[in-house]
A and B are shown apart, each in its own frame.
Chain A
Amino acid sequence: MNNGNTSREAVTALVVETLKGVDTGGEPFGEVDETTELLGRLDSMGLVTFIVDLEERLNDDLGMTVALATDRALSQRQSPFRNVATLTDYVLQLADESANDGRA
């Protein structure tokens, strides 16, 4: 189980690795870093698949139990799914909250 102390580097690496494995519905991502955009690059099913894959890998590889598609994420004006960096921040924020709730 994750204790809320997973490093930003580890989460970023997992986001990048998961993203590289997703069918974009168009051109492959090629080089991926923290500035790589998600919305606009992934088609709608690509985004769904990516989010589900990432939830599973966070759980399997880092022991983090997080639900990325929350009410808050879907209603935020500034979507956390904008790019790799914003998504990484969001994952870490959820993990912190989960640890504070005693579930992670």
Chain B
Amino acid sequence: MDERRVALVTGTSGGIGRHLSEHFARAGFLVEGCSRRPAEWEVDGYHHHLVDVGDEGQVRDMFQSIRRRHNRLDVIVNNAAIASMNHSLLTPGSIVDSILTTNVKGVFLVCREGAKLMRRAAYGRIVNIGTAVVPLRIEGEAVYAASKGAVETLTRILAREFAEFGITCNVVAPTLVETDIIRGVPREKLDRIVASLPIKRLATFEDVSNAVDFFVRPESDYVTGQVLYLGGA
């Protein structure tokens, strides 16, 4: 069996997930990725799963596949998320259900199944992608921000539960990144958000991978339950 380290990244059809997958592959990891759609890109060492992270059966099947092929998992980055930016008065309950299912239940299920596999080696690094929208409290993002606030709390408690298995669990919370998820946000609003930040620009993919790298390093075994907001948010 291949002795290379294995990383799982969720939400890899594009954006941050694709960048992180390529980043880990370049660093010598075998990369397992998933999304509801096929990945329309390729990189050596990458294996794609068609998975809805909010579906417990699909998540279990994906981890069974990873366990059978690699029997190890070193890193998880929970990146899969959906957003719907709209005023609360115009947000249907079905959208709330979808956001919470993917952004909260999905993270929980992947952490749970991942920790089962990681505990075999008494080692693991889990990084959940949050958002600086939580402290920025941006209008129109109530449900998305609430779901990511839940991810922060989930992470802090999982950090305690998983500590005895040698697994750390942290959050990287970027400011807005140029991805599909903010495609619907008007430029004027983006400019206002950026103007309110100490560092006046959007986050880049490299900003995210740099912070993820810190949490993932073996030397970061004394860093857990932390939320790192980028850009000074």
Contacts and interface: CB of A to CB of B under 8 A. Distances in A.
9 contacts: A45-B164, A52-B116, A52-B119, A55-B116, A56-B116, A59-B64, A65-B60, A65-B64, A67-B60
Interface of chain A, helix or strand or loop or mixed? helix
Contacts of A59: 64
Interface in B62-79: 64
A7 B43 CA distance: 45
Contacts of B164: 45
Interface of chain B, helix or strand or loop or mixed? helix
Interface string A8-45: 00000000000000000000000000000000000001
Contacts of A52: 116, 119
A8 to B, nearest CB: 25
Nearest to A45: B164
Interface range for A: under 10
Interface of B: 60, 64, 116, 119, 164
Contacts of A45: 164
Contacts of B64: 59, 65
A2 to B, nearest CB: 14
Given A45-B164, A55-B116, A65-B60, 6 more contacts: A52-B116, A52-B119, A56-B116, A59-B64, A65-B64, A67-B60
A103 to B, nearest CB: 8
Nearest to A52: B116
A55 B116 CA distance: 10
A59 B116 CA distance: 13
Contacts of B119: 52
A52 B60 CA distance: 13
A101 to B, nearest CB: 11
A51 B115 CA distance: 14
B98 to A, nearest CB: 22
Contacts of A56: 116
Contacts of B116: 52, 55-56
Nearest to B56: A67
Nearest to A59: B64
A55 B119 CA distance: 14
Interface string A50-81: 00100110010000010100000000000000
- 5 tightest CB-CB pairs across the interface, nearest first? A52-B116, A59-B64, A45-B164, A56-B116, A65-B64
Contacts of A65: 60, 64
